Amino acid sequence: MRARDRTAVSALRATLAALDNAEAVPMDEAKQAGAVELSPVGVGATEAARRGLSEAEVRDIVRAEIAERLDAAARLTAPAHAERAARLRTEAAVLLRLLDSAA
C-alpha cells in the first residue's frame, strides 16, 4: 500500500464496504422508534448491533467480489474498455491473493 497501488486500494475498499454491508442488521430486525418522546436519548442510543460474520461468510463475500469483477471484465469487450477490464482483472487478482494468503 505504501507504493500507492490504487488498484489494490480500490479493491480492498470495495470489499471492506461489502463486508460492512453484510454485517448490517436488516431493517425488519432493527428496532423501530415510535413517538419522538419515547425515542432513546444519549450517545449511541440509536445504534443497532451489527451481526457477526463467520470466516466462511467472509470468504464467500470476498469470492463474490472476485467473481463480480471477473464477470464485469468479461463483459467489457470493446477496445475502448480494455483498460477498465484489465483493472478489474487486477483487482480480482489482488483479492484472490489475499484470500489465498488467509487460508
Where are the domains positioned within the chain?
6-23+45-102
Number of Cβ within 10 Å of residue 66's Cβ equals 20
Query: What is the model's pTM?
Result: 0.77
- What CA–CA distance (Å, rounded) separates 67 from 2? 27
45-89 pLDDT tens trace: 566 778 899 999 999 999 999 999 999 999 998 999 999 999 999
HSE of 74, CA atoms in CB hemisphere, 13 A: 7
HSE of 83, CA atoms in CB hemisphere, 13 A: 1
**Residue 84, all three cell numbers:** 477498465
pLDDT at 30 over 60: no
